[in-house]
Amino acid sequence: MFKILLNSCLAAAGILSLSLSSSAATESVQLSDRLQKLVEADRPLVIAHRGYSMAAPENTIPAFELALLANADLVELDYYHSSDGVPFSFHDGTLNRTSNAESLWNESRIPTASKTWAELEKLDVGSWFGSQFSGAKIPTLAESLDAIQPGSITLIERKQGDPETLIHLLKEKEILNDVIIQAFDWKFITECNELAPGAVLGALGPPRRADGTAYPVEERFLNADFLDQIEKTGANVVGWNRQVTPEAIEDAHRRGLRVWVYTINDLDLAVRLLDMGVDGIISDNPAMVWKAIATR
């Protein structure tokens, strides 16, 4: 984490407390001790994907609480904005798979960002997973952060929403220095870096081509071209699928980037990826990741 180390050394020496943005001086984020330690850790990180989503409905408070009980280093979530601007935790682009929206409103394929917060609050996001979770509500992003931060660190994946609103919320809660922001949209990460230099950011991939189409499978491996683009965003972390190689991971490390892989639920695959040198495993089953680490 060359960039983070450099920033903290300069800050400690009193040389750098401000960095310049295009319009005005923007304060550089000084990381919390626990986040600093985590991003510098010399062991792989255990990252709970959408909470402990193998044991509880994804992106809900029960899933986040179980991830804390499993001692996850990071708890990942996804968020959107409601049509009236409330950020809330949810994964899919439509409401149907993980809520009762379809039966409640008798509509199929309802876009997640199309409803007001008052409407979204009515949804049950637990019953689809199991009757013991019946009645679970969608948490706002703020409620999710309140549930996760006391026991872990949130890995916030932005699915939809502007960077200003997110940075403002994190500043208001005084946790901008104690969370990680990631997105598949590398322009969003670049904008977060401009608004909050020094914050820990992750660029997710593989990306889509400029025309919006997917790369063929064989071109989706992490490589030097992707890493060149990621470096320009100001990201500190690369979040990739299993299409990584030891060479690409080494290349990322030479550039001061950490490599985390998603979504790995198989023990043998997790062990193989750890053997390749990945720095973190994002899994629906964080206990399995601890086992994979212990196995080696």
* Chain contacts with Ca ion (rule: CB under 5 A): 78, 157
Closest CA to 223 of 235, 238, 202: 238
Nearest residue by C-beta to Ca ion?
A: 157
**Residues lying near ligand G3P in the complex (CB under 6 A):** 49, 76, 78, 91, 157, 204, 239, 262-263, 282
Nearer to Ca ion, 80 or 221 (CB): 80
Instruction: Pick one of Ca ion, ligand G3P, none as the site partner of residue 191 (Cβ within 5 to 8 A by kind).
Output: none
Name the residue nearer to ligand G3P (CB basis): 127 or 263. 263
Question: Which phi and psi (to 5°) does residue 20 adopt?
Answer: -95, 135
In 3D space, the residue among 160, 150, 37 whose CA is nearest the CA of residue 90 turns out to be 160
Helices 286-295 and 267-276: angle between axes, nearest 10 degrees? 60
Question: Judged by CB, which is closer to ligand G3P: 157, or 178?
Answer: 157
For the four alpha carbons of 191, 154, 85 and 239, in that order, the dihedral sign comes to positive
Binding partner at 158 among ligand G3P, Ca ion, none, C-beta below 5 to 8 Å by kind? none
Instruction: Report in angstroms how near the CB of residue 261 gets to ligand G3P at its nearest.
Output: 9
Which contacts of 166-170 are long-range, i.e. CB under 8 A and separated by 24 or more positions? 166/87, 166/192, 167/192, 167/195, 167/196, 169/87, 169/141, 169/142, 170/196
Residue 61 interacting entry, from ligand G3P, Ca ion, none, C-beta within 5 to 8 Å by type: none
> What is the spatial distance between Cα 182 and Cα 108, in angstroms, rounded to a whole number?
29
Cβ closest to ligand G3P, residue 49 vs residue 81: 49
- Considering the complex, state which of residue 234 and residue 239 has its C-beta at the smaller distance from ligand G3P: 239
CB of 32 to ligand G3P, least distance (A): 21
Token couple for 211? 């025309």
Bridge partners (DSSP) of residue 77 are 156
- Decide whether 3 or 49 has the Cβ nearer to ligand G3P: 49
Select the binding partner of residue 282 from ligand G3P, Ca ion, none (C-beta < 5 to 8 A, by kind): ligand G3P
Question: Half-sphere exposure (CA, 13 Å, Cβ side) for 198?
Answer: 24
User: Which single residue brings its beta carbon nearest to ligand G3P?
Assistant: 262
Question: Measured from the CB of residue 195, what is the shortest distance to Ca ion in angstroms?
Answer: 21
- Quote the CA–CA distance of 70 and 285 in Å, as a whole number: 9
Q: CB of 261: closest distance to Ca ion in angstroms?
A: 13
Which is closer to ligand G3P, CB of 160 or CB of 190? 160
Angle formed by the axes of helices 2-12 and 33-40, nearest 10°:
140
Interacting partner of 263 out of ligand G3P, Ca ion, none (Cβ under 5 to 8 A depending on kind): ligand G3P
User: Is there a contact between 292 and 271 (Cβ–Cβ < 8 Å)?
Assistant: yes
What is the nearest approach in angstroms of ligand G3P to the Cβ of residue 15?
A: 35
